[in-house]
Structure 1
Amino acid sequence: MVNNSRKLITIVGGGNIGSAWATVFLLHGYRVSLYENDFEVHAKSKKSIKKGLNLFIESNNLDSKKVNNILCNISYFKDLIRALSGTKYVIEAINENLNDKINIFKNISQNIDEDVVIASSSSFLPISKISEKTINKDRCLNLHPGNPPYLLKFAEIVPSKFTSKKALDQTKCLLKSIKLHPILLKKEVDGFVFNRLQGALLKEAYSLINNDIVEANDIDLIVRKGLGLRWAVMGPFETIDLNTKGGIEKHSKIMIPFYKSMFSKKGKSNFEKKSIKKVIAERRKLLPLGKMSARISWRDKKIFKLINLLK
Structure 2
Amino acid sequence: MVNNSRKLITIVGGGNIGSAWATVFLLHGYRVSLYENDFEVHAKSKKSIKKGLNLFIGSNNLDSKKVNNILCNISYFKDLIRALSGTKYVIEAINENLNDKINIFKNISQNIDEDVVIASSSSFLPISKISEKTINKDRCLNLHPGNPPYLLKFAEIVPSKFTSKKALDQTKCLLKSIKLHPILLKKEVDGFVFNRLQGALLKEAYSLINNDIVEANDIDLIVRKGLGLRWAVMGPFETIDLNTKGGIEKHSKIMIPFYKSMFSKKEKSNFEKKSIKKVIAERRKLLPLGKMSARISWRDKKIFKLINLLK
Fold match by TM threshold 0.5: yes
Secondary structure of the 2:263 match is helix
Judge conservation of contact 2:242–2:292 (CA < 8 Å) in 1: no
Distance 1:108 1:60, change over 3 A: closer
Partners in 2 of 1:297 and 1:36 — Cα distance? Answer: 50
Q: Report deviation, 1:292.
A: 42
> Given the alignment of the two structures, is residue 170 of structure 1 paired with residue 160 of structure 2, yes or no?
no
Whether the aligned pair in 2 keeps the contact of 1:211 and 1:267 (CA below 8 Å) is no
The whole-number CA distance in structure 1 between the counterparts of 2:252 and 2:285 is: 40
Task: Work out the percentage of aligned pairs sharing the same amino acid.
Answer: 99
Aligned counterpart, 1:25: 25
Change (3 A) 1:142 1:219: same
Q: Is the 8 A contact 1:216 1:279 kept in 2?
A: no
Q: Determine the C-alpha separation between the residues in 2 that align with 1:287 and 1:247.
A: 10
1:274, CA displacement in angstroms? 39
Greater mean alpha carbon deviation, residues 149-158 or residues 283-292: 283-292
Q: Distance in 2 between matches of 1:50 and 1:131?
A: 32
Match of residue 229 from structure 2: 229
Aligned match of 1:157: 157
Kept in 1, the 8 Å contact 2:230–2:303? The answer is no
SS in 1 for 2:9: strand
- Assess if the C-alpha contact under 8 Å between 2:240 and 2:247 holds in 1: yes
Instruction: Flag the 1:199–1:298 CA change in 2: closer, same or farther, 3 A.
Output: farther
TM-score scaled by length of structure 2: 0.86
Query: How far apart, in 2, do the equivalents of 1:186 and 1:285 lie?
Result: 21
Q: Which whole-Å deviations, capped at 9, do the CAs of 1:156-211 have from their partners, x for residues lacking one?
A: 00000000000000000000000000000000000000000000000000000010
- 8 A Cα contact 1:203 1:270, kept in partner: no
Q: Which deviations, in whole Å up to 9, do the C-alpha atoms of 1:121-171 show, x marking residues without a partner?
A: 000000000000000000000000000000000000000000000000000
The question of whether the paired residues in 1 share the 8 Å contact of 2:252 and 2:276 is answered with no
**Which structure 1 residue ranges, 5 or more long, are not aligned?**
none
1:270 Cα deviation after fit: 18
SS at 2:266's partner residue? coil
SS at match of 2:34: strand
User: Which moves more between the two structures, 256-265 or 19-28?
Assistant: 256-265
Q: Following the alignment from structure 1 to structure 2, what is the Cα–Cα distance between the partners of residues 21 and 179?
A: 13
CA shift in 2, pair 1:291/1:253, >3 Å = closer
Do 1:206 and 1:270's aligned partners in 2 also have CA atoms closer than 8 Å? no
Report the 3-state secondary structure (helix = DSSP H, G, I; strand = E; otherwise coil) of the residue aligned with 1:56. Answer: coil
Report Cα offsets for 1:65-85 as digits up to 9, x if no partner: 110000000000000000000
Deviation of 1:62 after TM superposition, in Å, equals 1.1
Shift in CA distance, 247/293, structure 1 to aligned 2, threshold 3 Å: closer
Residues 94-118 of structure 1 show CA distances to partners (whole Å, capped at 9, x for unaligned) of 0000000000000000000000000
Counterpart secondary structure, 2:57 = helix
Distance (whole Å) between structure 2 residues aligned to residue 250 and residue 295 of structure 1? 17
Partner of 2:129: 129
> Structure 1 139/61 Cα, relative in aligned 2: closer, same or farther at 3 Å?
same
Provide Cα deviations, 1:197-237, integer angstroms capped at 9, x if missing partner: 00000000000001000111110000000000000000000
Asked if residue 59 in structure 1 is aligned to residue 59 in structure 2, the reply is: yes
Are the equivalent residues in 1 in contact too, given 2:77–2:83 (CA < 8 A)? yes
Change (3 A) 1:99 1:214: same
Contact 2:11 2:21 in 1 (8 A): yes
Q: Is there any run of 5+ residues in structure 2 with no aligned partner, and where? A: none
Compute the RMSD of aligned alpha carbons: 11.5
Q: CA deviation at 1:309?
A: 7.5
The separation in 2 between residues aligned to 1:289 and 1:125, in whole angstroms, is 41
Aligned with 2:132: secondary structure? Answer: coil
Q: Is the 8 A contact 1:204 1:270 kept in 2?
A: no
After superposition, give the CA deviation of every residue in 1:265-294 in whole Å (9 maximum; x if it has no partner): 899999999999999999999999999999
Count of residues paired in the alignment: 311
Distance of 2:16 and 2:146 partners within structure 1: 12
Aligned-pair CA distance for 1:264: 2.5
SS of alignment partner, residue 222 of structure 2? helix
SS of residue matched to 1:61: coil
Q: CA–CA distance in 2 between the matches of 1:220 and 1:179?
A: 30
1:36–1:76 CA contact under 8 A, matched in 2: yes
CA shift in 2, pair 1:310/1:186, >3 Å: farther
Q: Provide the rounded CA distance (Å) in 2 between the counterparts of 1:215 and 1:281.
A: 38
Following the alignment from structure 2 to structure 1, what is the Cα–Cα distance between the partners of residues 253 and 90?
Answer: 47
Shift of 1:61: 4.2
TM-score where L is the length of structure 1? 0.86
Q: 1:59 to 1:76 in 2, by over 3 A?
A: same
